[in-house]
Amino acid sequence: MKTRWFGKLGFEISSFGLGCMRLPQDQDGKADEAASIAMIRGAIDGGVSYIDTGYGYMGGQSERILGKALRDGYREKVHIATKLPPWLCNTPDDMERILTEQLKRLDIPTIDFYLVHSVYDENWPKMMDFGVLDFMQKQRKAGKIRYIGFSTHADTAYFKQVLDAFGWDMCQVQYNYMDTAYQAGVEGIRYAGSKGVPIVVMEGLRGGHLANVPPSVEAIFDAHPVKRSPAEWAFRWLATFPEIAVVLSGTSTEEQMRDNLRIFSADDFGAMSPEEFDVIEKARVAYMSRMKAGCTGCEYCLPCPQNVMIPKIFSLWNQAAMYGLLGQEDWHYREYADEGRGAAACVSCGRCQSMCPQSLRIPALLQQAHCDLLA
């Protein structure tokens, strides 16, 4: 297993981090405890030294199952990360109550990495008002946690703002070869690296979409003389960033876990030739060609008199088209629609169309997006 230096913290850690959000399930869709424990222990035996979970993962079962897997000497071989969910904190006292519950579920006295979960929008100001940073430092002094971090899906500017607000030990962000300018993006990755803050990457396969690629992308990978799976291409690209300490992968089967061990243990893992970078770029272009609307997100079309979330709707529509999700209802868009900010609220006044630098036929495109996203 290839290891990385964990930034300023001064120790090495496995480049493959096991995510416990998608543990094996039984025929009824419930967490398969025996299979999950076997998979977790198999990963640790294979060299994985970073395991990630969260309070609500697998309906709350993830932490409990991980706690059982850590018995019999396995706890001493790994670093455990879990998260404090801001949406379940209604008072400052809830933070300690939740941490106490997590320690009990995990059946350990100390959590290695304790992250403020999903830092963004109203979550972060609320948690700051609750004194979350003082709480974290108090728990560290008490020996209940070792390192303080945060996870976020925020944009680059917000990510930098949070990163500068505290002397974080680490951070967790979404990143993959399709998201170089999305959320924290490459700019955020470089910025954290410049501060010595180690990065743990989630969504390296974008929820599995970069592992199950459309035919046009598959043909690009197949044309390369060295045959690799789409997942391996995505992971190898991430490994070229020295700022990234750990890449999380939430495996659901023993087979997936074993394949990840193989990928992250390759002698040349972390190195790519110019020709290989070109393959990734061609794959990215192939994905982009599947977009439905040529919206750049400039927001010149806003504010809409009817409060329609025009750029965000187009972003959701484009993502659904790129990753083969058209015809499946998008829950993000359902929220907009239920709030009266979806495309159905458009009255075709034409203001947005006259302001669009791309000359998009916005009202007509919104109606197509509405049909595809609520199918």
Phi, psi of 8 (to 5 degrees): -75, -5
The span from the CA of 86 to the CA of 193, in Å, is 26
The span from the CA of 18 to the CA of 191, in Å, is 25
Catalytic residues: 57
Per the CB < 8 A criterion, the answer to whether 374 and 329 are in contact is yes
Structure tokens, 144 = 């209940």
Per the CB < 8 A criterion, the answer to whether 150 and 172 are in contact is yes
Phi, psi of 30 (to 5 degrees): -95, 155
Per the CB < 8 A criterion, the answer to whether 246 and 13 are in contact is yes
Q: How many CB atoms lie within 10 A of CB 93?
A: 10
For the stretch 282-310, what's the b/e string if a residue is b when 16 or more beta carbons lie within 10 angstroms of its beta carbon? bbbebbeebbbbebeeeeebeebebebbb
Residue that the structure tokens 């008199």 belong to: 305
Residues in contact with 68: Cβ distance below 8 Å, sequence separation at least 6, in sequence order = 33, 37, 107
E strands within the chain?
A: 3-5, 12-14, 16-19, 50-52, 79-84, 111-116, 145-152, 170-174, 199-202, 244-249
Which amino acid is it at 30?
Answer: K
